[in-house]
């Protein structure tokens, strides 16, 4: 049986990463950071600054997850990371500057094709977000992305960041579905690997045209956009 037919016959719920998959994190933060950096007299590339920031945030969140102690909120990881990047870049800053940059994450908008594609998918499946963001950040974000998800779940409930297995199993339990009945959709390789290894079916949104590493946990589908996913699954 072709993979699309198998997925359509078993999937009950589509679950999405939010930052970078539903909303344009790189572009949105770059546009927000550019005037801030210019006002600070920093002459580097704002896109490179945001990449540096995001990579540092990911590294710090993985450190926190591996400590296996009380989960540090996403916002606090963000403050820690932005502070670290600006210190390394030699950008003078205040704590208010740090909070302002991180707060921009809550106001990110969708990639252009996302609203229509998700509306098509929602005619057939429940749509859910599973995000590393804090619950209040995800709630605030609804005002800006305006996607009527059936549920928005924070990894805070699992006391770990993705791709810890506990995050995916917690989300499936909350939605009362078996792991194999979930199609997890992400623009990030690590998230697809985590969800697939936990037992979910996965889709890699390859917007950046990057090869998927030869993990034993390969995505069930690789598509170029959310529109292509909707055309295949809806």
What does the pLDDT look like over 198-224, one tens digit per residue?
999 999 999 989 999 999 999 999 999
Mean pLDDT of 13-20: 98
Q: Residue 85 sits in a domain of what CATH number? A: 1.10.150.240
Mean pLDDT computed over 68-94: 96
- Enclosing domain of residue 76: 26-107
pLDDT at 1 over 70: no
For residue 157, what pLDDT is reported?
95
In the predicted model, what is the mean pLDDT of the chain? Answer: 97
Residue that terminates a domain, selected from 50, 84, 107: 107
Looking at the fold, whether 57 and 165 belong to one and the same domain comes out as no
Same-domain check for residues 71 and 123: no
* Domain match, 86 and 124 both: no
Domain boundary among the residues 107, 132, 163 is at: 107
Same domain, yes or no: 53 and 12: no
**DSSP H helical ranges for 25-164:** 25-39, 46-67, 74-89, 95-103, 114-121, 135-145
Q: Is the pLDDT of residue 2 over 90?
A: no
pLDDT for the residue numbered 68: 86
CATH no. for residue 176? Answer: 3.40.50.1000
Q: Domains in the chain: how many in total?
A: 2
Buried b (16+ CB within 10 A) or exposed e, 159-182: ebbbbbebbbebbbeebebebebb
**Domain match, 187 and 204 both:** yes
> Could you tell me the CA-to-CA distances from 19 to 10, 111, 162 in Å, in that order?
27, 11, 12
On whether both 154 and 190 belong to a single domain, the answer is: yes
Regarding whether 123 and 207 lie in a shared domain, the answer is yes
Tell whether 79 and 40 lie within a shared domain. yes
DSSP code for 128: E
pLDDT digits (tens, 9 = 90+) for 136-188: 999 999 999 999 999 999 999 999 999 999 999 999 999 999 999 999 999 99
Q: Are residues 203 and 113 in the same domain?
A: yes
Taking the whole predicted model, whether its pTM rises above 0.85 is answered as yes
Q: What share of the chain is helix, strand, coil (3-state, %, to 5)?
A: 55, 15, 30
User: Could you report the per-residue pLDDT of 90-144, keeping only the tens digit for each?
Assistant: 999 999 999 999 999 999 999 999 999 999 999 999 999 999 999 999 999 999 9
């Amino acid at each position: 049986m072709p993979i699309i037919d198998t997925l359509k016959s078993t999937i009950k719920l589509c679950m999405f990463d939010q930052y970078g998959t539903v909303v344009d994190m790189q572009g949105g933060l770059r546009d927000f950071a550019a005037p801030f950096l210019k006002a600070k007299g920093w002459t580097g590339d704002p896109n490179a600054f945001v990449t540096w920031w995001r990579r540092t945030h990911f590294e710090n969140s993985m450190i926190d997850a591996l400590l296996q102690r009380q989960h540090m909120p996403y916002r606090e990881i963000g403050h820690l990371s932005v502070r670290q990047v600006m210190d390394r870049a030699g950008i003078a800053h205040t704590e208010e500057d740090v909070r302002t940059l991180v707060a921009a994450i809550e106001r990110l908008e969708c990639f252009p094709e996302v609203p229509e594609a998700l509306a098509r998918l929602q005619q057939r499946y429940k749509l859910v977000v599973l995000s590393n963001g804090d619950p209040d950040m995800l709630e605030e974000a609804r005002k800006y992305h305006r996607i009527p998800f059936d549920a928005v779940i924070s990894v805070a409930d699992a006391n770990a960041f993705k791709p810890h297995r506990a995050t995916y199993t917690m989300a499936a339990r909350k939605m009362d579905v078996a792991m194999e009945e979930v199609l997890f959709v992400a623009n990030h390789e690590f998230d697809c690997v985590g969800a697939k290894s936990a037992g979910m079916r996965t889709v890699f949104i390859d917007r950046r045209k990057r090869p998927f590493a030869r993990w034993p946990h390969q995505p069930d589908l690789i598509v170029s956009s959310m529109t292509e996913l909707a055309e295949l699954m809806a």
